[in-house]
Amino acid sequence: MSDYYVRYNIITVVPLEKSVYLYTKLPSDIKLSKNLLELNYASKSPFNKTSIFSYKKSQHLSIWFSLKEYYSSLFVIPEGFIVYFLLSDIGDGLYRLAFKENKELLVYIKDGILLVEFVISDISQVHLLEQQYKVKSKEISYVQYQDLFNSVWSNPKFLKELTNFINIELSKDKLLFFFNKYLYYPIIVTILLYIGISSYQAYNMQNTIDKLTQTYNNLKVKNSKVKNAIRIHNQDVEKFEKFIKQELYYQDPIKILASLNKVIHKGENAKIKYLSISPRYMKINIQTKDDAIKYLRRLNSLGYFSDISIDSTYKHKNGEKTYTYSLALKVLH
């Protein structure tokens, strides 16, 4: 599959020995244009004239620098990105990868992020990174790498990643050349097929719209009876609520608040942490080391409530507990 991409000038792979890798973490998950990348990172390249390829994963930015060249392919992918994709599927770790029979690449991946990638020039570099990251390096042979490299081109996940690759080098000339040579007739056939399918779908859609319109009109007639029943019900509810407001009276909240000093006596290790009151209900939180029933009885003795319940109990680290009481106010006729 990789030969097909190369033969038809679709993808160019920048070799590992012709690129230099840089990892950086962005302050936030921002979008980076090609111009913005060159403005901020071209100065970090070891090449005077450089091409920049990048891949961003959340705030983690991977950059590959190479000597600037003109690529006629539609997609230009650094081989370092392919290595990263292959090894991230295997898992985190420090890898010694033989990408040629006499050359090795050192790769360190942590939490799925490519942190280190460079061609080994001295074996001491491997030992240094093993000590720095406190991991043992894993070896990937040349034969293993070739098998992995050849399999990646049929991997849908990899092809999807290419669509998110920031530095895909495109130009009008490349697109026009590729379109005229490989896509013109297939696109014409696709357009004609699309027109036929669209006409068929439009015919079916119109029939569906007619049927749905008829169904809607039938339901609209039936729904009028339901609307009338809802209107009568709302009128009854309104009358009942009006009766409640006119005939039933609840306790005076001011009097209830004034009487709360009878619930917690002077000198007791207890306090009210929260209180809310409405014309019909009251909720109160009491924090204490005492038993919850003690304060429930005192609240009941005030004579303002028809129903009292303990909704919840929260125990603090110091041994104190916060009790939540719900109280229904008595109705005064």
Q: What's the confidence (pLDDT) of residue 211?
A: 87
91-105 pLDDT, tens digit per residue, is 999 999 999 878 999
The lowest-confidence range among 162-171, 260-269, 297-306, 319-328 is 162-171
Band (206; pLDDT cuts 50, 70, 90): confident
Q: Are 321 and 314 in contact (CB under 8 A)?
A: yes
Joined together, the tokens standing for residue 57 give 């994963």
Joined together, the tokens standing for residue 221 give 């007639």
Q: How many CA atoms lie within 13 A of 42 on its CB side?
A: 12
Q: What's the confidence (pLDDT) of residue 274?
A: 92
The alpha-helical segments, DSSP class H, found in 152-183 are 156-163, 172-178
125-177 pLDDT, tens digit per residue, is 999 999 999 999 999 999 999 999 988 888 888 888 776 654 444 555 555 65
Query: Which domains are delineated in the chain?
Result: 2-170 (no CATH), 172-247 (no CATH), 253-332 (3.30.1360.100)
256-282 pLDDT, tens digit per residue, is 888 888 888 888 889 898 999 887 888
Calculate mean pLDDT across residues 109-132: 93
Band (2; pLDDT cuts 50, 70, 90): low
- d(C-alpha 97, C-alpha 114), whole Å: 14
Q: Is pLDDT of 21 > 90?
A: yes
- d(C-alpha 234, C-alpha 238), whole Å: 6
Q: How many CA atoms lie within 13 A of 18 on its CB side?
A: 15
* Centroid of chain to Cα 113: 18
